[in-house]
Structure 1
Amino acid sequence: MLDIKWIRENPEALVQALRNRGQSESDARATVQSVISTDEERRAHVTRLQEAQERRNAASKEIGKAMASGDKERAEKLKAEVADLKTFVQNGEVRERELDESLRNQLASIPNVPLQDVPVGRDEKDNVEIRRFGEPALNPWSKEHFDIGESLGFMDFERAAKLAGTRFTVLTGQLARLERALGQFMLDLHTREHGYTEVQPPLLVRDEVLFGTGQLPKFAEDLFRTTDDRWLIPTAEVPLTNLVAGEILEGEKLPLRFTALTPCFRSEAGSAGRDTRGMLRQHQFNKVELVSITDADSSIAEHERMTECAETVLKKLELPFRTIVLCTGDMGFGAQKTYDIEVWLPGQKTYREISSCSVCGDFQARRMNTRYRMAGEKQTRFVHTLNGSGVAVGRALIAVMENYLNEDGSISVPSVLQPYMGGVTRIERA
């Protein structure tokens, strides 16, 4: 959520930011004008309400003086005035709550403002590659992961569909173990070498938790909701970031760094017809998430650090990848800047996203009301939040399967995963 004071003082900057994100100029100006008008109405109303309350208090004191002096006529007039003011204040407080809610709802629908160094563009075609690692391999025997998995007998989409419908996968045997190994390897790397604290959070959360990280109200259709009005998490970013919701943190203890390996649940409402084969785009998948809570001056450097932590996973797995910075039109709702890491998939002959690392500034902190205070200071400031995949486990499995496929159809196990596989070096048909 953006600071209304900043919007009030920088309306043209917000108009330009919304245009950079893909809105038309007329829509951007309408959005900004609407929120400013509501803010002006609210502030004027609050001023009138405060004046009425002050006058009611003063008139109440004057009644006593009038009664003491024997001026009953003036006392009765003052009583009538106080009664009218009381009614006005009561009705005015109701209107104040309505205006507060209207302003909050409007602010909640406005996306974050991109940082100055984010490339301006319309969609993924305008994203900018900044670095690569490894040499993309393309062997004559390269295949897509679903063909590999089914040939090995460890990946079953028909039984998954029988259990749950489309966009689910059943993994068995050595592929199930390989996916588990990937998740454990990532957690060990991030906790032992990168300084993250492992968390096992709830997979079901309340409305306000999803509001805090920006999924609600705008993206409700992308989520799964239970019959008791809880939500399945779309990513561990949601509970990890909200661990500090509503708190005032000690500035000297920042940054806080959390990581979790959890299932994630997404309806994929906007992805009809995309990646329908295989397990690239699923309703349920496992992901290792990275979340950082920093002070206002450290978030940019933390963003670079977090992205490097995610890249290290792929480097240790010896998987070719490239890192791109997303343009303004392709960034997520709450992000100021985002790096996507795309891993090479020989079966598709292209790079596909496996991690997305974003810095959000104080956008989520305002929604969660999370602040920090430095020692010896009275003033508090909103924290800055960051989140990233470290990385998507299912997509890492796909990448290992396709990049480590041998000509005979077996899969070599990357050296860093072999200790997690009980020394198994090759996955062969069951």
Structure 2
Amino acid sequence: MPESLCFHHGQLIDGTGREPVPDGVVLTDTDGHITYAGPADGAPDAGDARRVDAAGGTILPGFIDCHVHVFASGRWEPLAVAMAKFDDYRHLEAAVRLRQTLLAGVTTVRDLGGTTPGMRRAVADGLIDGPRLLVSHGILSHTGGHVDWTFPNGQAVERSDYAISALNHIVDSPQEAVVATRQLVRSGVDVIKVCATGGMGSVSDDPDDQGLTVEEMRAIHAELGRYHGRRLPIAAHAQGRRGIHNALISGVRSIEHGYGIGEEECQLLIDSGAFLVPTLSTMVFDPEDQQRMPADYVRKKLGWIERGRENIANAIDQGASVALGTDAGAGPHGLNLRELGYLCDLGMTPHAAIQSGTRVGAELLELDDSIGTLEAGKLADVVVYDGDAIADIRGLGDAERISHVATSGRLVKDAGTYRPRVLSI
């Protein structure tokens, strides 16, 4: 249950872009909302609120990772091992990854392939601990495209640690794209994921290959406009330049990866109000994982690392709205905030990188009225880091240095100790 909390004695970075407050206070109520965030000398009496001493550290909004795959381990397990897993075991693995992510300071994630609305409900209902979840469930691709896990000999991988064919939709016409979209909307998804290009991990294509056509993506966009209320957004897996261009002129809300983005595409993104989610964590090789990766995947990745970083750096410099996303699942879970340092490597200031992982992410997800910044009235998603988040932003990537995590006013991590929710079912 939420409780009244008083985070105090720490530097406050509220995510809005305002300058850090050297001695900040955040107060929350039993409804799980923030009642005050600001300097200590203007704070109301905290009464009998539980005190969280952030002395020597930084009080921050809960972070948002806009691109994860909870059902993929990121460990590049042998295909035979992954395919042998029972579904209930895979669900329990996913629950552990969600908890790891939450304890690393990430209080909201958008899963772009593999996680169902059922897992979203399990978190919301408190059956398992994890970040607030938004899900795409499946992914739309064409025959031979990024998520068509059919090998040249016709053998299809229906399910494994990193192939989720059972959830994906292979579409080869605007009408098929519309039918798949209707099926996903019916299942209760939060976002539609499309493949506008090939990918590094694909069986049959490359990042520079185009994916769904403009006509197919525009048909999806038009279909989503038929529903009453909020139009579901489209997230486009888009790595090569031509596919990025196609996605942007088709009305997508976010470009995922975007390694080939050029100046023209960046301007299209800015003019349309779309977001770039660069997933720089995928460009970091773990030597052990590299040995287990398919040779073709390694070849593609090595060929893209430097030009991808250069293009993302140019997009940052041009003023693109960049939201933090890691593609966790293609890499390890629980290290999500290392992405902040990678953004700084490409020209972001630490303060801007923090906003990328808080306010900007909330804007992309259209949740900025309730999360993303520490302001009165918003949900009490609060993180305490044991260092100076401006001077030592890379330390945020070490989950051991995230001393406290609160989600909707419930303190789930207290001085590094996990506080599980206790339910009676």
Could you state the TM-score of these two structures normalised by the residue count of structure 1?
A: 0.25
TM-score, length of structure 2 as denominator length: 0.26
